[in-house]
């Protein structure tokens, strides 16, 4: 087997031939036996009375795990049941937003301006519904540039569905005919190793068919040739830039993990986590509560929750500062004794937002093409 197969990756299982799959299964069995051996050593070092208590505790844990598995199974079934019940409501929302179905307005509620413009001038549906809803969410607002807004005005619906093989979920973005790209539907699929944890295996996005000169994910730089140069044509260079539509080109894990160093692997992990955060936000917040995000009510509720979390963080920071002060005192005491200790960093937090994935390496925002 190759080095990549000696360190098995769950995403490679379907690509293995029968011989390699058998080798992989044996390798996993050996690892399990090693772990079992370690557990046995722990138990052997306990006194007979304590060992018996731990064995009973393990039985209790097994019962708990069985109940938890049943809970996850029933939760998935319940979620599927209510997803079906939500669909008629999502359909009604779509019809009103796009103007397929109109809502009668009492003449007494119409403003003087509306009456002057006449019925022919009244806008259909709810313009910029999904764009506004997404921009009111802090996570998504960081991803949407000013240039993206022109294309996102054509977004008429977003749906999500669960997929079974492999486990995961799919997001679908439905667009009206527009001057930016040919696709009527853009999709993003998340494959999960463990959906309850959750552990992301990989993400796959639609390849966007941009019209010539309309790509929002890259910009074209033109540089004039040097004086005296035989080449009179300007030199053109294409660069990637910030755009919400980069969401459909998710970070990819190399086939051989040995191809990337530790720092690059950490950056990739951060990018994958942030990409998943965006997808989860759309699935769990925007789609089910789109109207509240459009009006801004959901954003206010979100800020209230964040304020509570920040207060908790402030308390944690104060505790960390106290701990740092105590460690500094200990370090000074050690120095007096002729000893030195290496201080460990405190309060390290994971940054949110795709821009924080690689510090100082933010792709440029496209101003023009």
Query: Can you tell me the distance from the alpha carbon of 108 to that of 91, in angstroms, rounded to the nearest whole number?
Result: 29
pLDDT confidence of residue 166: 83
Asked if pLDDT for residue 348 goes beyond 70, the answer is: no
Q: How confident is the model at residue 331 (pLDDT cuts 50, 70, 90)?
A: low
Torsional sign, CA 67, 69, 74, 76: positive
Asked if pLDDT for residue 169 goes beyond 60, the answer is: yes
Query: Can you tell me the distance from the alpha carbon of 194 to that of 191, in angstroms, rounded to the nearest whole number?
Result: 9
Please provide the distance, in angstroms rounded to a whole number, between the alpha carbons at the two ends of the chain.
49
Tokens of 60: 């209790």
Tens digit of pLDDT for each residue in 276-328?
999 999 999 999 999 999 999 998 877 666 565 566 666 666 666 555 555 55
Mean pLDDT value across the chain? 77
CB 241 within 8 A of CB 232: no
Q: Which long-range contacts (CB under 8 A, 24 or more apart) does 83-86 make?
A: 83/161, 83/162, 86/288
Torsional sign, CA 9, 249, 196, 270: positive
pLDDT confidence of residue 323: 58
Q: Would the pTM count as exceeding 0.75?
A: no
Query: Can you tell me the distance from the alpha carbon of 47 to that of 241, in angstroms, rounded to the nearest whole number?
Result: 63
Residues 88-117 as b/e (b if ≥16 CB within 10 A, e otherwise) read eebeebbebbbeeeeeeeeeeeeeeeeeee
Nearest to 151 by CA among 243, 289, 286: 243
Phi first, then psi, for residue 114 (nearest 5°) are -65, -40
Helix, strand, or coil (residue 79): helix
Summarize the confidence of residues 104-122 as an average pLDDT. Answer: 63
CB 236 within 8 A of CB 220: yes
Q: How confident is the model at residue 70 (pLDDT cuts 50, 70, 90)?
A: very high
- H runs (alpha helix) in the chain: 3-6, 18-44, 48-98, 112-117, 129-135, 138-141, 146-152, 262-281, 290-295, 297-336
pLDDT confidence of residue 167: 85
Tens digit of pLDDT for each residue in 3-30?
444 444 444 444 445 555 555 555 555 5
Tens digit of pLDDT for each residue in 126-153?
999 999 999 999 999 999 999 999 999 9
Query: Among 17-31, 226-240, 346-360, whose mean pLDDT is lowest?
Result: 346-360
Q: How confident is the model at residue 367 (pLDDT cuts 50, 70, 90)?
A: low
Angstrom CA distances, 160 to 86, 103, 285, stand at 12, 26, 12
pLDDT confidence of residue 332: 53
């Amino acid at each position: 087997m190759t080095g990549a197969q000696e360190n098995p990756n769950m995403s490679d299982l379907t690509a293995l031939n029968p011989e390699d799959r058998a080798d992989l299964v044996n390798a996993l069995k050996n690892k399990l036996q090693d772990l079992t051996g370690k557990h046995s050593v722990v138990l052997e070092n306990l006194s007979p009375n304590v060992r018996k208590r731990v064995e009973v505790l393990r039985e209790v844990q097994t019962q708990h795990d069985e109940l938890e598995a049943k809970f996850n199974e029933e939760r998935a079934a319940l979620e599927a049941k209510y997803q079906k019940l939500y669909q008629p409501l999502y359909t009604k929302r779509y019809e009103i937003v796009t103007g397929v179905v109109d809502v009668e307005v009492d003449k007494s509620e119409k403003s003087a301006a509306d009456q002057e413009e006449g019925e022919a001038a009244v806008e259909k549906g709810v313009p910029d519904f999904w764009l506004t809803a997404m921009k009111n969410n802090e996570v998504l607002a960081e991803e949407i540039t000013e240039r993206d807004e022109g294309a996102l005005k054509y977004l008429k619906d977003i749906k999500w569905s669960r997929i079974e093989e492999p486990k995961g979920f799919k997001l679908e973005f439905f667009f009206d005919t527009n001057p930016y790209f040919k696709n009527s539907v853009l999709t993003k699929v998340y494959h999960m190793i463990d959906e309850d944890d959750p552990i992301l295996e990989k993400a796959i996005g639609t390849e966007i068919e941009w019209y010539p000169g309309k790509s929002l994910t890259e910009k074209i730089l033109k540089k004039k040739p040097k004086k005296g140069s035989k080449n009179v044509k300007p030199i053109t260079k294409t660069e990637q830039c910030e755009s919400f539509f980069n969401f459909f080109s998710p970070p990819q894990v190399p086939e051989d993990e040995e191809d990337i160093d530790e720092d690059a692997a950490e950056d990739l992990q951060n990018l994958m986590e942030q990409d998943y955060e965006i997808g989860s936000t759309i699935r769990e917040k925007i789609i089910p509560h789109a109207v509240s995000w459009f009006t801004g009510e959901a954003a206010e509720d979100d800020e209230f929750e964040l304020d509570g979390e920040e207060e908790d963080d402030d308390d944690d920071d104060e505790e960390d500062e106290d701990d740092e002060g105590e460690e500094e005192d200990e370090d000074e005491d050690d120095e007096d004794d002729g000893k030195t200790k290496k201080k460990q960093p405190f309060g390290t937090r994971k940054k949110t937002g795709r821009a924080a994935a690689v510090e100082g390496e933010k792709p440029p925002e496209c101003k023009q093409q």
